[in-house]
Amino acid sequence: FSSVVLDTNALLRHYKIEAQAHGSVHLSSISARQATGSALKAGAFMFGGAIARNSIDVLVAGDHAATDLYGLYLPKGSQHIDNVVTVEHAGRHGTSHQTYKGVIDDRARGSFSGHIVVDHGTVGTDAHQSNKTLLLDPAAQSDSRPWLEIFADDVACTHGSAIGQLDEKALFYMRSRGIPIEDARAILVGGFINEIVERLTTDSVRKVVMDLVKTQVRSGFTAELGGDQ
C-alpha cells in the first residue's frame, strides 16, 4: 500500500510495472490526494502473477487539478488480472482521464472497474473513462465496468468500453501482401497498445515495458511503437 499527497502545483509521474512469477499473487493499492493546481500522471503495466490486482484511489481535492491514469494489462495462460480505479472530484475545474487497455490470450481473464465521482458544487469538472480490450483467443475473458456518479451541474463526463478480436479483414489483407500471420498479428497488437505505451516519457521505462510485452504476447511481438510525446 502506498499513500501520496500532492501539494499545490506539484507534479508527480508514477510508473508501476508488475511482472512477478506466474504462480504468485500480487495485490497493490495506491491512494493519492491532490491539492490545487497539482498534476498526477500514473501508469500501471500488469504482466505477471497467477492473480494480480492493481487498485488506485485518487481524491482531487483542490481546484484546477489534473489526473491522468492509464494502464496496460496482458494476462495469458490461466492468469487473472484486475484493475480497480476510483477518482473523486471534490474541487472545481478539475480534469481526469482513465485510459486502460487489455490484451488477453489463452484462457486468461482481465478486468477493469473504473469509478468517477463528481461531488456537489464541483463546477467545470471534465472527467473521462475509456477501457478497450483485445481478445487473442476464443477462451479469453474480459470484464469491464466504467461507472459514473455525478452530483453537480456544468460538468463534462464520458465513459466507454469496447471488447473485440483482431480484425480478420486486416489480417487477410496483410497476408495477401506476403506478411506472415504472426507478423500481421504483431502489427495489429502494436497499433492497439501504442496509445498507452507512447505516454511513457522515460526511455528506460519504455524499454522495460516493451521487453515485457514482447515476452508476454505469444505472437512474437515486434512492431515498433511511438516515441516520446
SS3 call for 59: strand
Does residue 209 lie in a domain region? no
Quick one: pLDDT band at residue 138, thresholds 50, 70, 90? very high
User: Cα–Cα distance between 21 and 50 in angstroms, integer?
Assistant: 8
Quick one: pLDDT band at residue 146, thresholds 50, 70, 90? very high
What is the average pLDDT across 76-104?
Answer: 97
What is the average pLDDT across 163-168?
Answer: 92
Residue-wise pLDDT for 4-40, tens only, equals: 999 999 999 999 999 988 789 999 999 999 999 999 9
The pTM assigned to this predicted structure is: 0.90
Does residue 79 lie in a domain region? yes
Does residue 12 lie in a domain region? yes
pLDDT for res 148? 95
Number of domains into which the chain is organized: 1
Does residue 208 lie in a domain region? no
Does residue 191 lie in a domain region? no
Helix (H) or strand (E) holding 216: helix 203-216
Q: Which residue matches cell numbers 515476452?
A: 215
